Amino acid sequence: MRKKIVAGNWKMNKTFNEAEDLLFNISDLLKENPVAGAQVLVCPPALYLELAADIAHENGFDCGAQNLSEHESGAFTGEISAAMIASTGAKYVIIGHSERRTYFGEKDDLLAVKVSQALKHGLIPVYCCGEILAEREENRHFDVVGGQISQALFHLSPDDFAKVVVAYEPVWAIGTGRTASPEQAQEMHAYIRKVLAGKFGDAAKETTILYGGSCNAANARELFAKPDVDGGLIGGASLKAEDFVKIAHSF
């Protein structure tokens, strides 16, 4: 079901005490000024998931992992399974973030398996897609993003597809301070919805599509005002409670 979401991707940041502080600070700010009509979600490093799930659920927000293994269980040293993530109380998992694609060589066929694995264990995939700068400059961004969507999501049943959240994150905007304009974001979100509709029909109208890439407290409102932008996946600005909660109030 389509909903407004603001999700924080903490990446590989925060020690245990710092993570706890950030979670309590977010909780306090949300208590003072609750966010109505949008889901707030934090995605801390995996070893803080149980802590985050406990604090988040007591305070009306949610949490998710940043990655998961494509395997069910077994001899995969250092990996974390969907079942493990679900057992912490986390509800979401980011899949296919551009940093996973770039630094860990994750490709769409692997990401398709990860999406299925998440759904099998009741986790909501937040599937990330987005073009690099050269692809946009060569006017290939629609083809690239369309391919990422079809290859990782088109194998899903309608029931499973209905649970998926998509995040459009142009790689040139992630961590660079260079945000897509609201018009660029809207154009791509509308395109993603069209690609999804080509496969899943009217169900695509119900897909939550987030924007990510240097989204912050100053620019979130105009991005979220666009009709196909249902919220944001926030990196750097999610590491400061005030900024993150301000973004969550930007609808």
Query: What residues act catalytically?
Result: 97, 169
Among 90, 171, 192, 233, binds ligand PEP (CB under 6 A): 233
* Interacting residues with ligand PEP between 156 and 195 (CB under 6 A): 169, 174-175
Element (H, E) at 246: helix 241-248
Which residue number has the CB closest to ligand PEP?
Answer: 235
* Residue 102 binds to ligand PEP (criterion: CB under 6 A): no
Residue 88 or 98 having the CB closest to ligand PEP? 98
Cβ–Cβ contacts within 10 Å for residue 208, how many? 18
Residue 91 or 100 having the CB closest to ligand PEP? 100
Buried b / exposed e along 26-43 (16+ C-beta atoms within 10 A): bbebbeeeebeebbbbbb
Q: What gap in Å lies between CA 138 and CA 186, rounded to an integer?
A: 19
**φ, ψ dihedrals at 3, nearest 5°:** -145, 165
Is-contact 193 149, C-beta < 8 A? no
SS3 21: helix
- Relative orientation angle of helices 108-120 and 141-153, to the nearest 10 degrees: 40
* Residue 96 binds to ligand PEP (criterion: CB under 6 A): no
Residue 83 or 239 having the CB closest to ligand PEP? 239
Task: List the x/- string, 188-227, binding to ligand PEP by CB under 6 A.
Answer: ------------------------xxxx------------
Among 235, 241, 244, 245, binds ligand PEP (CB under 6 A): 235
Binding interface with ligand PEP (CB under 6 A): 9, 97, 169, 174-175, 212-215, 233-237
